A and B are shown apart, each in its own frame.
Chain A
Amino acid sequence: MKILIKNGHIVDPSQEIDAPGDIVIENGKIKEIILETSPGRVPAPGLDIQSFTVIDASGFHVFPGLVDMHVHLREPGFEYKETIKTGTRAAVHGGFTSVCCMPNTNPVNDNETVTEFILRKAYADGACYVFPIGAITKGQKGEELAEMGMMAEAGCVAFSDDGRPVMSSLVMRRALEYSRRFDLPIISHAEDEDLSSGGVMNEGRVSLQLGLRGIPSEAEVVMIKRDIELAKLTGGRLHIAHVSTAGGVRAVREAKKEGLPVTAETCPHYFTLTEDAVKGYRTEAKVNPPLRTTGDIEAIREGLVDGTIDVIATDHAPHHRDEKLCEFDRAAFGISGLETALPLSLSLVREGVLTLSDIARKMSLNPSTILGLGKGSLKTGSDADITILDLKKGWKVEPERFLSKGKNTPFEGFVLEGLPVITICKGQVYEREDR
C-alpha cells in the first residue's frame, strides 16, 4: 500500500523537522519526507501519484505516531475493565500507535508465558503496537525477582511493579543491578506505602475538609530519592513513573545534574488538575499518586520545560463503572487517559509552556528512546506510525464516546482543543468519526 500525506506541517524532532511538507509511505514504511523547501517538490520525480492513497493534511500537523509508555490494558484477568482489543482501539482513537502495558494483570506478567500471551493477543487483536512491561518481582509482591531475562527475550521492554512500590530497598537494589544485563530500565512506582498508609487522596487542605485519609507528597518524594540513590549505587537505569510532586521533580532534576541514568514521566492530570477536583467525593478524580496542588502543577510544568521530565504518559487505568460508583474509600484508583491525553497536552502548547516539538518528543520520541522501541521517528525506513493533528478542532470530552471500556475520567464536560484526526498504524488509516 502506498500513501501520500500532502501539505501537512511535519513535526519530527528526531530529524529536527518542524516544517510544511509531504510524506511518502510505501509498504508500511516511511519512504521519504519531501519538505516544501526541498528541491524537486511533489510530485517528486518518478512518483506515480495515481497509485497512492492521498491524504490531504492541509492545515494539519503530522507527528510521528504517539508512544504511551504507561498503560493498563487489563488483559489477562480483568477483561471486564479493558481488553487488548478495546485498549488499543482507545489508543489509536487518542493518537497513539504504540503502548506499553503494565504487568498488574491476573496472572501478573512476571514470566515469559504471560508476556507471549499478551504479544500474541496484541498481534491478533491489537489496533496498535503493544510492548509489554514485565514485573520486577514475582507476583508483584516485592520479594523475589521475576524472570527478567526470559521476559526480556520474550519481548518485555522494561520492568515495573507498577501499582505497587518495591518496598524493600534490597530487592530494588538487586533489580537495578540485575537489569543492567539487559540494558532495560526499571520503572519505579515511587510510593512509600507505609507513609501513604491507606490514604485515598492528597494529604492537605482538601483532605481535611472532606475527612478523607491523605497521602503526603513525601510518600512519593522519599521513594524517588531512595531509588535515585540505588541507581547511583548500581548504575542500573531508573525511570520514575507518574511524577506528581514538586519534590519529585526537584529530586529528578538533581539526579540528572549528577549525570545519573534517571528518566521520568508525568501524566496529563498532574499538570492539569489539583486536589480540588476531588471535592464532592468525586471518585473519577481518585488516582494514585493523587492529584496535588497548584504548586505541584507549576513544578511539573517547569520540569517538562527544562527537560527534567522526559515523557508524558497516560497511566491509562480503565475501570468498570461500579468500581467508581461507590464510597470514595472503596473506589478504584485510576483515570482512563488514552483518549484525552493529547488534547490535554496540547493545552500546554496553547498556554506557551511547551512547543509542538516538545510534545512530539515527550509523547513519542523520548519514550521510544528510553525503552529502545525504534519508534517515535519519521526517518526513512521507520514504521509508518503517524498521528495527524487538527490543532484547532474544538472537542468536548464525552466519556460515553470513548472506545476504551473505562469511562472513568475527571475531564467529563471539559472543552479541549486539538484532536488526532487521522492515525496511521500497522498499515491501517484510522480516521476519527468526529473530525
Chain B
Amino acid sequence: MDRRHLLSIKDLDKEDITLILDTAEGFRDVLKRDIKKVPALRGKTVVNLFFEPSTRTRTSFEVAAKRLSTDVINFSVPTSSVVKGESLIDTAKTIQSLGADFVVVRHSSSGASHLLSRQMDASIINAGDGINEHPTQALLDAFTIREKKGILKGLKVAIVGDILHSRVAKSNIPCLRKLGAEVRLIGPPTLIPDGFREEGIEVFHSMEEGIEDVDVIMMLRIQLERQDRGFFPTVDEYFRLWGLTTERLSLAKEDAIVMHPGPMNRGVEIDSAVADSPSSVILEQVTNGIAVRMAVLYLLGGRG
C-alpha cells in the first residue's frame, strides 16, 4: 500500500480497504495457530501514544504489534509528561527521537493525528481522534461483516445511537459505503447531524422503522458522561426508544448480526439478552481487531 499513515477512511479507496481486509485474513489464520507470532516487522518499534484512557484499542494494537515481532512502547497520559503541560508536538518529537517507526495515536482533539503526521517521520495510525474518526475500528467491523456475510455489497447496515459524537460511526459510514453496503442511521434527532441526509444516507428516528429488514445492526456506545448536555432526557427514555431488545431485533432479517465497538452499557443501548445472544458478534470483533491492526501495521511498514 503506497501510503505512510492511516489517518482517515476517507483517504482510502475500495481497493485499499479490500487489500487490508485480505491481508487481515492471512493474519487471522496466524492467530489461530499454536505459535501466534510472525517475524514480519522484527526490529521495528511501535509506540502507543494514548492521550485518552483506552483499554481495548490500546491492548489490541499492542497484541497486534507484538504478534508482528515489533518492540512496543506504551505512552499513556498519567505517566507521560503531557500532564506537566508539554505540548502535543513536543511529546511527538520526543517520541520520534526515541526511534519510533509507528505511532498509534488516540487523542481527544479531532485532527490530532493529522497534525502529528505533518510533524513526524514515523507512520501515524489514528486510533481515534476526538469526534472525528477511528479507522481501524471501521476496518475490523468491515472484516467481521465480510466474514459473516461473505460480501458487503448490497447489505443493509443500521448504525444506531449517538452518531454525532461517534468516531466509530464517522469511520464506518464511509468504509461501508465504499464497499457497497447500504448504510442507514438510527437515533434521536439531536444526535444525528443533518449533513448525512444531504449525502444521501437514510436517517430514521424510530428504531422500529429503521431496523426493519436490516442485515447488520451496529450499536454505538452512549457516552453517559455526555448525558448532562441534554441530547436526550434520561437513559431510561433512551433505552425505551432506541435500546436494542430481543423484540426489536426480531424486526431485522432473521440472520442479522449485532455488533458493538465496546465497552457496552447494558440496559442503556443494548439489552443483555441481545448482547449475549447468538446474533451477537461482539467478541469476534475483538479478535478480528488484532488481525486487522496487524494488517495495517504490516502494509504501512511494507512501503519502500
Contact = CB atoms under 8 A, between A and B. Distances in A.
A209 interface: yes
A281 B130 CA distance: 13
A211 B196 CA distance: 13
Nearest to B170: A211
A329 interface: yes
Interface in B2-48: 10
Interface string A82-114: 000000000000000000000000000000000
Contacts of B132: 210-212
Interface stretch (B58-66, B107-115, B153-161, B273-281): B107-115
B193 A327 contact: no
Contacts of B195: 204-205, 208
A210 B115 CA distance: 13
Interface string B130-162: 111100000000000000000000000000000
A209 to B, nearest CB: 7
B131 A211 contact: yes
A281 B170 contact: no
B287 interface: no
B88 interface: yes
Instruction: Summarize A's interface: helix, strand, loop or mixed.
Output: loop
A328 B195 CA distance: 21
A211 B114 contact: no
Contact of B193 (A208, A281, A325): A208
Given A211-B170, A281-B115, A327 B131 contact: no
Contacts of B198: 205
Contacts of A330: 109
A325 B89 contact: yes
A178 to B, nearest CB: 35
Interface in A212-235: 212-213
Nearest to A206: B195
A398 B88 CA distance: 26
Interface of B: 10, 87-89, 107-112, 114-115, 129-133, 167, 170, 193, 195-196, 198
12 contacts: A208-B195, A211-B110, A211-B167, A212-B132, A213-B131, A281-B115, A322-B87, A325-B89, A327-B107, A328-B109, A328-B115, A329-B130
Q: Name the 7 nearest CB pairs between A and B, nearest first.
A: A211-B132, A281-B111, A327-B109, A208-B195, A211-B110, A329-B109, A328-B111
